[in-house]
């Protein structure tokens, strides 16, 4: 079965750029999605097809893919961006989430 | 507006059975896969399995195969997740989710989650 590996935590100061990686063989073959989850809330889709933003997601959220690693970049991170972030991909109708990254902005 | 509304929180004892629900509205329920996702206390998201309500085609993660049953009722636009014998380790929030497009299986739109607490 596939695995997606994320750093457990990332910390930046407000206004800095935060980068969260997601690594695994699966993302070299299939598109990745990124979800933001705030405490006590359901996850929200913020990127799909590695780099595409759903409507309503701020432009400061962007994505990239370099083979077996996809990266979520938050440019000019805000305090409001403090949350858990999960990558996701799927193969053969089986989904896989990364372990999640806690982003701290302070 | 697409909505997935889940049933309320449950408190159960080990060994009891349970069935939680996820009602879809605002779209053709039959044509979209529904996924179930577990989140144990303080932990990450785990993909459990999916069902296509149109023909009840169901896929399970190997980690959850045989541990839970996923089903759907087209007549009530409702998907279900059930346990025959709960364990304390089943304590978690369970989310249902559906994709943005019928041809996909990704969890793009989410229900609000159902907290299941299993304790003696």
Tokens for B90, please give them: 């089943």
Cα of A44 to nearest chain B Cα, Å? 8
Per-residue pLDDT for B102 more than 90?
no
A96 contacts B62? CB cut-off 8 A:
no
The helix (run of H) or strand (run of E) holding residue A73 is strand A69-74
Task: Report whether pLDDT(B27) > 90.
Answer: yes
Q: Do A96 and B47 touch (CB under 8 A)?
A: yes
Q: Is pLDDT at A104 greater than 90 in this prediction?
A: yes
Residue found by looking up tokens 């990239």 in the block: A64
Residues of chain A numbered 33-62 and touching chain B (CB < 8 Å): 33, 35, 37, 42-45, 48, 54
CB contact under 8 A, A48 and B37: no
Q: Rounded CA gap, A28 and A22, in Å?
A: 11
Cα gap B51→B102, rounded to integer Å = 12
Using a CB-CB cut-off of 8 Å, the residues of chain B touching A100 are 44-45
| Contact with chain B for residue A95, Cβ under 8 A | yes
Contact B2, B108 (CB under 8 A): no
Q: pLDDT tens digits, residue range A36-87?
A: 999 999 999 999 999 999 999 999 999 999 999 999 999 999 999 999 999 9
Q: What is the DSSP letter of B30?
A: G
Q: What percent of chain A has pLDDT over 70?
A: 100
pLDDT band for position B87 (50/70/90)?
Answer: very high
- Is pLDDT at A93 greater than 90 in this prediction? no
């Amino acid at each position: 079965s596939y695995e997606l590996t994320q750093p457990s935590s990332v910390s930046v100061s407000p206004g800095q750029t935060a980068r969260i990686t997601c690594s695994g063989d699966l993302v070299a073959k299939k598109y990745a999605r990124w979800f933001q989850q705030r405490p006590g809330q359901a996850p929200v889709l913020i990127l799909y097809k590695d780099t595409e933003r759903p409507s309503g997601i701020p432009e400061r959220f962007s994505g990239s893919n370099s083979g077996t690693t996809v990266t979520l970049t938050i440019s000019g991170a805000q305090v409001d961006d403090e949350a858990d972030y999960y990558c996701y991909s799927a193969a053969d109708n089986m989904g896989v989430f990364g372990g999640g990254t806690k982003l701290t902005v302070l | 507006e697409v909505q997935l509304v889940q049933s309320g929180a449950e408190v159960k004892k080990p060994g009891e059975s349970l069935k939680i629900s996820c009602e879809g509205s605002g779209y053709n329920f039959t044509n979209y896969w529904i996924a179930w996702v577990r989140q144990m206390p303080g932990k990450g998201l785990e993909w459990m399995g999916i069902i296509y309500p149109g023909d009840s085609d169901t896929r399970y993660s190997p980690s959850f195969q045989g541990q839970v049953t996923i089903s759907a009722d087209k007549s009530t636009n409702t998907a279900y997740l059930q346990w025959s014998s709960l364990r304390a380790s089943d304590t978690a929030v369970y989310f249902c989710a559906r994709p943005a497009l019928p041809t996909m299986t990704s969890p793009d739109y989410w229900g609000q989650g159902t907290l299941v607490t299993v304790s003696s």
